[in-house]
């Protein structure tokens, strides 16, 4: 696929590898326009954010009074969640730190997590996923030929946080997700990682064993049970501060001896190969583009700096061969099978059953409620 023929935004570096992208008369894409007109309304890297954050911290502490923990933090070992762990420590919160080991942790990620937990004196619970079930899900997704191969990991990560929160009577989940580094992402590239209906449909067609230990979250649980019955909330504190990823990394290095990864999501050996090789090779999707574009619109990088970063190779050849070899060995497939999966027909996640119809009905009901009562439902993160 010849990516050089794609039209690129004049303000960020998103291009027509996103099939839904549009441009205005000045060549500025819809992602930039949406960030400036909609996303910024939920981003507070200013004094207002500091006040909101202080209120959030106070609320979380009050909700957890008398309990061993007042919140749950999912810690992957990446910069965002690791930096949030430092801030949580500074704010005096008492989190139960949960790490989900889906079988792909790099040694560096394990070392970074250990250093953070030791520095902050947090309790860490590591949930080790049943590898045979995880392997079967990975292979099912590869056979399905869809773009978002990270769903098996992402879903069990979030499902584990909700299940642990429920069992421990904790209402607040603190997430490192943020608009400063993730404010732009093309929806056409993937479906919802939380869509258990889609996950089960893909596995039912291409999986080879039952999922007995892999816990999912249903549509009812995610949109009704947890937010309304259990009154649980997912909070993204990094949206209420001037979060700068480069400065965050520097602080982590100085404070806990954090070791950076050579690539984004280098904490997961699966995600590293998936994002930097599988997606560009099979679909023509370079996930550096939305990541760098997010840094541009949030003021952390110039467009020229982003274009220079895109000139760097996605993978040094020697490193790629080592990672593919490890990937095949881990999944117990041959190199020829790996190449066949890369060449297999491409499918959309919508070629399989999804919960998108239910979601549209829910949003319609939410809009009708707001119109009738004048009250806006604000329970979703």
Whole-number Cα distances in Å, 244 to 32, 54, 265, 300 = 19, 19, 17, 7
Output the pLDDT for position 257: 96
Output the pLDDT for position 96: 94
**In this model, does residue 1 exceed pLDDT 50?**
no
**In this model, does residue 336 exceed pLDDT 50?**
yes
**In this model, does residue 256 exceed pLDDT 60?**
yes
Q: Are 145 and 344 in contact (CB under 8 A)?
A: yes
**In this model, does residue 344 exceed pLDDT 70?**
yes
**In this model, does residue 3 exceed pLDDT 60?**
no
* Across 226-249, average pLDDT: 95
**In this model, does residue 170 exceed pLDDT 50?**
yes
In this prediction, residue 263 has a pLDDT band, given cuts at 50, 70 and 90, of: low
What is the rounded average pLDDT for all residues in the chain?
93
- Contact partners, residue 15, CB within 8 Å, separation at least 6: 3, 6, 7, 8, 9, 21, 289
Q: Write the pLDDT tens digit of every residue in 361-381.
A: 998 988 888 888 876 666 555
In this prediction, residue 180 has a pLDDT band, given cuts at 50, 70 and 90, of: very high
Q: Write the pLDDT tens digit of every residue in 22-64.
A: 999 999 999 999 999 999 999 999 999 999 999 999 999 999 9
Is the pLDDT higher at 156 or at 4? 156
DSSP H helical segments within the chain, as ranges?
30-37, 47-63, 79-91, 107-120, 131-144, 151-167, 179-182, 196-206, 219-220, 245-256, 269-273, 279-282, 288-297, 303-311, 317-331, 335-343, 356-373
Q: Which domains does the chain have, with CATH numbers?
A: 20-351 (3.40.50.620)
* Across 222-240, average pLDDT: 94
**In this model, does residue 201 exceed pLDDT 60?**
yes
Output the pLDDT for position 380: 53
Which of these ranges, 48-52, 226-230, 266-270, 362-366, has the smallest mean pLDDT? 266-270
Q: Write the pLDDT tens digit of every residue in 102-147.
A: 999 988 999 999 999 999 999 999 999 999 999 999 999 999 999 9
pTM of the model: 0.91
């Amino acid at each position: 696929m010849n990516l050089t023929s794609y039209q690129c935004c004049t303000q960020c570096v998103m291009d027509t590898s996103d099939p839904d992208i549009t441009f205005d008369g000045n060549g500025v894409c819809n992602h930039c326009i949406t960030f400036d007109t909609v996303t910024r309304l939920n981003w507070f890297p200013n004094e207002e954010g500091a006040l909101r954050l202080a209120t959030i911290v106070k609320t979380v502490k009050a909700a957890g009074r008398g309990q061993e923990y007042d919140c749950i933090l999912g810690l992957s070992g990446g910069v965002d969640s690791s930096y949030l762990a430092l801030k949580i420590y500074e704010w005096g919160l008492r989190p139960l730190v949960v790490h989900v080991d889906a079988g792909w942790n790099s040694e560096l990620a394990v070392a970074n997590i250990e250093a953070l937990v030791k520095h902050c004196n947090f309790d860490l619970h590591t949930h080790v996923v049943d590898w045979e079930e995880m392997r079967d899900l990975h292979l099912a997704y590869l056979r399905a030929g869809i773009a978002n191969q990270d769903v098996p990991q992402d879903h069990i990560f979030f499902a584990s946080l909700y299940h642990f929160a429920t069992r421990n009577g904790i209402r607040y989940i603190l997430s490192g997700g943020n608009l400063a580094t993730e404010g732009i992402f093309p929806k056409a590239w993937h479906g919802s990682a939380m869509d258990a209906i889609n996950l089960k449909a893909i596995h039912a067609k291409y999986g080879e064993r039952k999922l007995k230990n892999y816990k999912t979250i249903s549509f009812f649980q995610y949109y009704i049970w947890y937010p309304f019955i259990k009154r649980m909330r997912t909070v993204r504190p990094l949206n209420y501060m001037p979060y700068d990823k480069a400065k965050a990394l520097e602080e982590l290095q100085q404070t806990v001896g954090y070791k950076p990864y050579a690539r984004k999501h280098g904490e997961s050996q699966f995600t590293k190969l998936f994002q930097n090789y599988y997606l560009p090779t099979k679909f023509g999707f370079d996930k550096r583009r939305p990541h760098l574009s997010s840094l541009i619109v949030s003021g952390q990088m110039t467009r020229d700096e982003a274009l220079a970063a895109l000139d760097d190779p996605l993978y040094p050849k020697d490193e790629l061969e080592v990672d593919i070899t490890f990937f095949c060995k881990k999944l117990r497939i041959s190199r020829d099978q790996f190449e066949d999966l890369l060449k297999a027909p491409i499918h959309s996640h919508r070629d399989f059953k999804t919960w998108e119809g239910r979601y549209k009905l829910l949003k319609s009901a939410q809009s009708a409620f707001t119109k009738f009562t004048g009250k806006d439902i604000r329970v979703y993160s």
